[in-house]
Amino acid sequence: DDLAHVERRITVVGAGLAGALFATLLARRGWQVDVHEKRGDPRLKGYEGGRSINLALAERGRHALRLAGADPAVMSHAVMMRGRMVHFADGHAALQRYGKDDSEVIWSVHRGELNISLLDIAERAGVNVHFHRTLQGVDFEGRRARFVDERNGELHELEFETLVGADGAGSSLRAAMAAEIELGERSEFLDHSYKELEIPPDADGGFRMEPNALHIWPRGRSMCIALPNDERTFTVTLFLPNHDVADVAGGPPRGPSFASVADGAAARELFAREFPDALPLVPALEHDFEANPTGVLGTLYLDTWQLDDRAVLLGDAAHAMVPFHGQGMNCAFEDCVALAEHLDGTADRAAAFAAFQAERLPNARAIQAMALENYLEMRDRVDDDDYLLQRELEQALALRHPDRFMPRYSMVSFHRFPYAMAYERGRVQRELLVELTRGHDTLDTLDWDVADALVLARLAPLPAHD
C-alpha cells in the first residue's frame, strides 16, 4: 500500500498501562517503536508502583487488550465482580448487580501483573523498551529529547520524529509541551483523599468476604471500597475529606477527615464506629494507615493534546480523572486504539493527532464528568430509598425497551458506545426516572403506558452494537 514504503518510527514516553499497550498496537502494524520508562523493569525486581494495587477492567479496556493479543494473559489473573456488595450502616450487606447476568460484569486486575503482561507482549511484538530513562527535557526545534537514569544521573540524548506522552498524570512531556504552546491546562482537586489498606487471606488461604463483588461501605462523608485480588486478598481504599467540615454554614466543623484521623489508633476508632464489619478483616490497620501514603484525587483538563507533528499526549497525561467510575485505564486503552488507527491511516502526523484529539477529547470530558458524579452516587446514594426505586424502574424500562433504554453504567462498562453518548443519553434517562418515580414508594402504582410513551418520545433507538 501507499504507506508501506514510509519509514514508520515513533518514540513513546512511559511504559505504564497505556504506553505498553499503545507500543504493542503500533508494533503489530509494523512500526518501529521505542519506549522510555522512568522505573526499572518490574519483571526483574518486582513492581515498584505501589499505589492503587488493583483496577476494575471493563469491556472497552478488554476490547483494546484483545486487539493487542493481551486479553488471555490478563484475564488469567482477573477476578470477576458481578456488582456492588453494599455494606449498610446497620451491618447487613446486599449485592446490587451491575448488569443483567454474568455476561455483564467487570474484572479486578492487579496493576503490577497487568503491566508485566503488557510489557511481555510489547517486547514479543518487537517493541524496544528502555528502563531507567526519565524524560527530563525536550528540544522541540532540534527534535532531541533528554532522558536521565535516576540511579546514577547518566544522561541519554536522542533524536525523535514524534514523542507520544504516556507518562501519566504528572507527565514530563506535557510540561515540556506547555513551555512551547498554551495547552489550556487546569486541575481540579477533590477535597477528599484516599488511603489503601489490605485484607489478607483467611487462615485457610481463602477469601475473607464474597470474592466476586466490589464491596462498598457508603457512609456519606466517608466511604470504603474493596476489590478482590487473585491471591485471595482484597485491597481496601478508604476515602475521607481532607479536613473536618461543618454540616451547615457557620456550624462547628466535624470529622472524620484525614486531618482529625491522624494516626493508626484514630483509624481503628473510625473503623469501629463507621465500618465495624470490616474492622476484623484488616489486621494491619494501624500499620497500613500509617505506612501507606495518602493519595490525592483530581481531574486534569487540557484544551490541546498535541504539538503539531512533534508530540501528542494520551491516557492520564492528557485527561487524568477521579477513580469513581473505574474507567481511567479503560479510557486510556481506548485512546491507544484510536491513536494507533489515526497514525496508521495517514503519513500526516499532525493531521492524525488533530483527528485523534477531535475524536477523544469530548469523550474524555464526558467520562471525567461521569466519574465525578459517580463519587456522589457511591458515597451518598447507593443506600437511599428513592435511589433504589429509580434503579428498579431503570431495570424495568431496560427490559421493556432494550433497543432504547440502557442504564448509563451498562453503556459505559459493558459496551463501547462513545462516553459522550452515554453521558447524554444517561442525562435524559435520569430525568425520566426522577419524573416517573416522583410521589411513588413502589413501582406497583406506576402508569406503565405513560412510562412507555415517554421512553419512545425521548430516546431514539440505540445505534447497532455488539
Our CA angle for 399, 400, 406, nearest 5°, is: 55
**Stretch of 313-321, 337-345, 413-421, 457-465 contacting ligand FAD, by CB under 6 A:** 313-321
We find the least distance from the C-beta atom of residue 168 to ligand FAD, in angstroms, to be 3
Q: How many CB atoms lie within 10 A of CB 236?
A: 24
Nearer to ligand FAD, 36 or 221 (CB): 36
We find the least distance from the C-beta atom of residue 451 to ligand FAD, in angstroms, to be 34
| Residue list 23-52, contact with ligand FAD (CB under 6 A) | 36-39, 52
- Quick check: 58 and 135 in contact, CB under 8 A? no
Nearer to ligand FAD, 300 or 459 (CB): 300
Residue from 10, 12, 17, 23 in contact with ligand FAD (CB under 6 A) = 17
Scored b (16 or more CB within 10 A) or e, 282-317 reads beebeebbeebeeeebebbbbebbbbeebbbbbbbb
Residue from 117, 330, 363, 410 in contact with ligand FAD (CB under 6 A) = 330
| CA–CA gap between residue 427 and residue 422 (Å, rounded) | 8
From residue 256 to residue 275, what is the string marking binding to ligand FAD with x (rule CB under 6 A)? --------------------
How many residues lie near ligand FAD (CB under 6 A)?
Answer: 32
From residue 137 to residue 176, what is the string marking binding to ligand FAD with x (rule CB under 6 A)? -----------------------------xxx---x----
| CA–CA gap between residue 53 and residue 178 (Å, rounded) | 31
**Alpha helix segments (H runs only) across 14-55:** 17-27, 42-45
We find the least distance from the C-beta atom of residue 293 to ligand FAD, in angstroms, to be 11
- Sheet of strand 106-110, all strands in order from the earlier edge strand to the far edge: 54-57, 106-110, 79-81
328 binds ligand FAD (CB under 6 A): yes
128 binds ligand FAD (CB under 6 A): no
Q: How many CB atoms lie within 10 A of CB 265?
A: 13
329 binds ligand FAD (CB under 6 A): yes
- DSSP class of 242: S
Residue from 12, 19, 53, 234 in contact with ligand FAD (CB under 6 A) = 19
- Quick check: 101 and 398 in contact, CB under 8 A? no
- Quick check: 47 and 111 in contact, CB under 8 A? yes
| Nearest residue to ligand FAD on Cβ basis | 16
**Rounded to 5 degrees, what are φ and ψ at 456?**
-65, -35
Spatial neighbors of 359 by CB under 8 A, at least 6 apart, are 338, 342
| CA–CA gap between residue 281 and residue 243 (Å, rounded) | 27
- CA 435 and chain centroid, separation: 31
Collapsing DSSP to helix, strand or coil, 163 comes out as strand
| Residue list 377-396, contact with ligand FAD (CB under 6 A) | none
We find the least distance from the C-beta atom of residue 86 to ligand FAD, in angstroms, to be 18
| Residue list 165-224, contact with ligand FAD (CB under 6 A) | 166-168, 172, 194
Nearer to ligand FAD, 17 or 436 (CB): 17
Residue from 104, 113, 198, 316 in contact with ligand FAD (CB under 6 A) = 316
Q: How many CB atoms lie within 10 A of CB 387?
A: 15
Which residue in 59, 171, 55 sits closest to 115, CA to CA? 55
- Quick check: 443 and 389 in contact, CB under 8 A? yes
Nearer to ligand FAD, 130 or 430 (CB): 130
We find the least distance from the C-beta atom of residue 395 to ligand FAD, in angstroms, to be 24
Nearer to ligand FAD, 267 or 371 (CB): 371
Nearer to ligand FAD, 157 or 384 (CB): 157
Which residue in 55, 97, 189 sits closest to 382, CA to CA? 97
**Stretch of 273-281, 328-336, 341-349, 456-464 contacting ligand FAD, by CB under 6 A:** 328-336
We find the least distance from the C-beta atom of residue 4 to ligand FAD, in angstroms, to be 30
55 binds ligand FAD (CB under 6 A): yes
Sites of contact with ligand FAD (CB under 6 A): 13-19, 36-39, 52, 55-56, 134-135, 166-168, 172, 194, 295, 315-317, 323, 326-330, 332
